[in-house]
Structure 1
Amino acid sequence: MNNTNLIGLDNHGAEQLSAQLNDLLANYQILYMNVRGFHWNIKGADFFELHTKFEEIYTLLLEKVDEIAERVLTLGHQPLHAFSDYLQLSEIHEAVQVSSGSQGIDLLLDGYRVLIRKQRAILEAAAALGDEGTASLMSDYLSQQEKESWMLAAYRGRSA
């Protein structure tokens, strides 16, 4: 009996990793919608600057949503696709009626903290499984989001 999936990874390990990726996917989807709302509803003196920045960020988040879902498929499992599943699983909560740029940035930073923590755990699990594809994705995401967090914190006048 073959205990590996199509790409040669242990079936049980790939299943566990897919569950972690689906959890991550749920958090990405909620953060994506939050940032989309910040983009739409921003008001105040920072409107032009933050409207553009939030669009840049939600575009990157959406790309990652697709990559994570495709990685789950590559591992031989099904990505979650019901918004009710995302709401149930996500540690990041819906942000409703946020029009303050500073509040939007603070919520985005909180969201990045969640993603970074989860991605580090997935990176470790992927490395233990010998899954370089997932590890590489997580490494890339971490690098980008750690820098983005530092920059957003600096914009808010805080240190990282």
Structure 2
Amino acid sequence: MSTKNQIGLDTNKSEQLASKLNDLLANYSIFYQNTRGFHWNIKGEKFFELHVKFEELYNDLILKIDEVAERILTLGYSPKHNYADYRKVSKIKESEEVSDGGKAVKSILESFQTTLILQRELLGLASDAEDEGTSALMSDYIREQEKMVWMYSSFLNK
């Protein structure tokens, strides 16, 4: 019996990667829905600026959700797809504070921290599995999100 999957990666390591990618998928999905809520419900003097930024962010997140799900499929596993599963594993929790711009940006920064930690963990697992596809994806996400942390932090004057 082969210990390699269809793309030539160790099956045990691929299963571990797929499981962790499903955790990332759950976190991204909750992050996405929170950001949609911020976009819909933001109020106050920075409404126009934040409304646009939140839309840019949720559009980026929906692309990442699709890429992560497709990577799980590429590894030979199934992406989870319902919020009941997502709520069980996501470290990002559903937001209830959606109208205050400052609180929304703080929530976004906390969500970025969560996803960055998880993506760095995935980067290490992918490297150990010699999985360049997942490594490249995580490297790109980390680079992009570190810059976004800087930008959102600057908005809060941090």
Classify the TM-score, shorter chain. Answer: over 0.9
Name the counterpart of 2:4. 4
Task: Structure 2: state its 5+ residue gaps.
Answer: none
8 Å CA contact 1:41, 1:97 repeated in 2: no
Query: Would you say 1:62 and 2:62 are equivalent positions?
Result: yes
Residue correspondence of structure 1 range 59-138 to structure 2 within 5 A? 59-138=59-138
Query: How many Å apart are 1:82 and its aligned residue?
Result: 1.1
For the residues of structure 2 that align with 1:51 and 1:100, how far apart are their CA atoms?
12
**For residues 6-59 of structure 1, what are the alpha-carbon distances to aligned partners after superposition, in whole Å with 9 as ceiling and x for unaligned?**
000000000000000000000000000000000000000000000000000000
For the residues of structure 1 that align with 2:55 and 2:49, how far apart are their CA atoms?
10
Matching residue's letter, 2:123: L
For the residues of structure 1 that align with 2:4 and 2:62, how far apart are their CA atoms?
30
Residue correspondence of structure 1 range 40-51 to structure 2 within 5 A? 40-51=40-51
Query: How many Å apart are 1:126 and its aligned residue?
Result: 0.1
Name the counterpart of 2:28. 28
**For residues 90-130 of structure 1, what are the alpha-carbon distances to aligned partners after superposition, in whole Å with 9 as ceiling and x for unaligned?**
00000024101110000000000000000000001001100
Query: Would you say 1:140 and 2:140 are equivalent positions?
Result: yes
8 Å CA contact 1:123, 1:139 repeated in 2: yes
8 Å CA contact 1:44, 1:100 repeated in 2: yes
RMSD: 0.5
8 Å CA contact 1:43, 1:101 repeated in 2: yes
For the residues of structure 2 that align with 1:121 and 1:67, how far apart are their CA atoms?
18
**For residues 77-96 of structure 1, what are the alpha-carbon distances to aligned partners after superposition, in whole Å with 9 as ceiling and x for unaligned?**
00000110001110000002
Give TM-score scaled by structure 1 length: 0.98
For the residues of structure 1 that align with 2:94 and 2:51, how far apart are their CA atoms?
19
Aligned length: 158
How many percent of aligned residue pairs carry the same amino acid? Answer: 50
**Which runs of structure 1 show a deviation greater than 3 angstroms over 4 or more consecutive aligned residues?**
none
Matching residue's letter, 1:103: K
Matching residue's letter, 2:56: E
For the residues of structure 2 that align with 1:52 and 1:2, how far apart are their CA atoms?
50
For the residues of structure 1 that align with 2:19 and 2:33, how far apart are their CA atoms?
21
For the residues of structure 2 that align with 1:3 and 1:97, how far apart are their CA atoms?
48
Give TM-score scaled by structure 2 length: 0.99
8 Å CA contact 2:39, 2:50 repeated in 1: yes
